[in-house]
Chain A
Amino acid sequence: MQFDWSWFWPELFGALNDTMYMIIVAFLISILIGIPLGIILVITRENGILENKAVFNILNIVVNVLRSIPFIILIVAIIPVTRLIVGTSIGTTAAIVPLVFYTAPYIGRLVENSLLEVDPGTIELAEAMGATPWQIIWKFLLPEALGSLILSLTIAIIGLIGATAMAGAVGGGGIGDLAISYGYNQFQTEVMVITVIILVIMVQFIQSLGNYLSKKIRRS
């Protein structure tokens, strides 16, 4: 069977466009939620600078619950929420909702871990200097954790790319959709191969960029 390329390229670019849209929007929203979430998990925990058992326990449980649901189930499970927010449960924009539900808690955990890696002596120092909790976060914790935070966000965005491809399979569009509907359902191996290559290149590129930036910040 001769593969017809003429329809494929525009289709591919459309799909790539959708994918980028989903990744970028979902990532930005997830960062806006996930980074503060991670910070709050660190400062409210036991012996944190603003220890608060109730807040910590609630957020901790929420994150655990969301993190334990496989993405494909999460998409279906939160359909009512998705409808409420974007008015529909299918399409590229609708896919962003479960993507955020999936990625934000993940980023929260990763950020939490990065911040916990910061030498406790740093916080002690900041407190001894008379820094406010806000200053401790912005002027001590985050700058000291920056290299590690960038690696964490790299991991998160790669996870998001995978989830985006999956979201495509259930009607979100993008290259995941392309791969399933043509590559898998219609046995067009070429489509499958090309989408896989594109995904691999994306992940490689982002990982290298993340490594580079993190290295530069850590000066090592």
Chain B
Amino acid sequence: MLILEGIRKVYGEGGDNPVEALKDINLEVKKGEIFGVVGYSGAGKSSLIRCVNLLEKPTSGKVKVNGTDLTKLSPKKLRAERKKIGMIFQQFNLLHSKTAFGNVAMPLIIEGYAKEDIDKKVRKLLSFVGLEDKADHYPEQLSGGQKQRIGIARALATDPHVLLCDEATSALDPDTTNAVLELLKQVRDELGITILLITHEMNVIRDICDRVAVLDGGVIVEQDSTINLFTEPKTAIARSFVRTVLNDALPEATLKKVLEKGESNSVYRILYKGESANDPLLSDVAKKFKIDINVIYGTITEIQGQPFGNIIVELNGDPQEINNVVDYIKGRQVTIKEVKSDAV
């Protein structure tokens, strides 16, 4: 559907201090997928998403949308392709001189649609985003969330097959963010539109992305399904992003206390996701084995609608019995790891 191949972007090439914002980006977004790119400020997120519709021309590499390499197109053909790629922005970019209706109508006007068709289509879009009653309002009469809804309606006007979201919720408060994310999900589920979004907020990834890529210094350092990235982040930067919404760090004092007791092999982290989260694992263990289980810490979060549990337990008892417990838990498709003093 959407493929980035070896994308490089150098700003100020040939100048005194060129900035290599993207270095060899390879990415494939599948049809109907919500794909998230997360990264810190300056990682190159905006450069990346702007390279997709060539608002920023990649220094090298290919951008394929539905098989067409956009970098090879004439300006005219590129404009035609851009009409099939919707985009929404962090600052909404609504036209102040136009009403909500006028803003949504804009892509249709430049397409040369007839007035009645525009009218019908815009009403439909406004009702899709739940703002039919705001048609005659000007942007400054709308809240941030409403502005972004108008932005979304406008991006959908030309029936695009891809929607690019550049920090679409970063200017919104948490409640509004959730509502807009819900709407984006609806865009994918009901209209089948593929979504590529960039964000620095991990909760956005957690709530709506199927897959995620972590961008750092212009390089994709990790890429996985959202649930895998959250449960088993491989790089330090992915881990620190996960921690922003899923605090699994053991309280310092607890960790110290536990480890000071000198008994090794006694503190474990148990991670379970999906179906297994519903099983009464710990009570089964307590019944089957002769050990004491002390839950030190625990959280359960939903990632993409799937429960994900992360608990830390202290197992007291015979070392052999503890090993048996560990094996038993592993046998139930649940991850269990010993917590060391450099616990991660």
Contact = CB atoms under 8 A, between A and B. Distances in A.
Contact of B110 (A119, A122, A131): A131
B83 interface: yes
Interface stretch (A33-41, A101-109, A140-148, A207-215): A140-148
A146 B97 CA distance: 8
A190 B72 CA distance: 74
A131 B79 contact: yes
A140 B95 contact: yes
Q: How large is the interface on B (under 10, 10 to 19, 20 to 34, 35 or more residues)?
A: 20 to 34
A129 B107 contact: yes
Contacts of A129: 82-83, 106-107, 110, 158
B93 A130 contact: no
Interface in A43-59: none
Interface string A116-143: 0001011011011111100100011001
B110 A135 contact: yes
Given A121-B91, A140-B95, A146-B97, A128 B138 contact: no
A128 B53 contact: yes
Contact of A130 (B79, B95, B97, B138): B79
Given A119-B93, A121-B93, A146-B97, A128 B87 contact: yes
Interface string B103-122: 00011011000000000000
Contacts, number: 56
Nearest to A124: B55
A32 B308 CA distance: 67
B138 A132 contact: no
Nearest to A219: B138
Residue among B53, B96, B109, B140 with most chain A CB within 10 A: B96
Nearest to A135: B110
Contacts of A132: 79, 110
B297 interface: no
A131 B96 CA distance: 18
A125 B81 CA distance: 15
A130 B96 contact: no
Interface string A138-167: 011001101000000000000000000000
Contacts of A146: 97
B109 A139 contact: yes
A119 B80 CA distance: 24
Contact of A128 (B85, B97, B98, B140): B85
Interface string A70-95: 00000000000000000000000000
Interface of A is mostly: helix
Nearest to A119: B93
Contacts of B98: 143
B89 interface: yes
B83 A144 contact: no
Nearest to A217: B97
B107 A127 contact: no
B107 to A, nearest CB: 5
A217 B95 CA distance: 13
| Among B83, B91, B93, B97: residue with most chain A CB under 10 A | B97
Given A143-B98, A219-B138, A128 B55 contact: yes
A20 to B, nearest CB: 32
B82 A128 contact: yes
B79 A122 contact: no
B97 A144 contact: yes
Contacts of A219: 138, 140
Nearest to B79: A130
Contact of B106 (A119, A127, A139): A139
A129 B53 CA distance: 10
B79 A125 contact: no
Interface in B230-285: none
A208 B93 CA distance: 31
A217 B138 CA distance: 12
Given A139-B109, A139-B110, A143-B98, A127 B93 contact: no
Given A122-B93, A125-B89, A130-B80, 8 more contacts: A129-B83, A130-B82, A130-B110, A139-B109, A139-B110, A140-B95, A143-B98, A144-B96
23 contacts: A121-B89, A121-B93, A122-B93, A124-B55, A124-B89, A124-B93, A125-B93, A125-B95, A128-B53, A129-B158, A130-B78, A130-B79, A130-B82, A130-B107, A131-B110, A132-B79, A139-B106, A140-B95, A143-B98, A144-B96, A146-B97, A217-B97, A219-B138
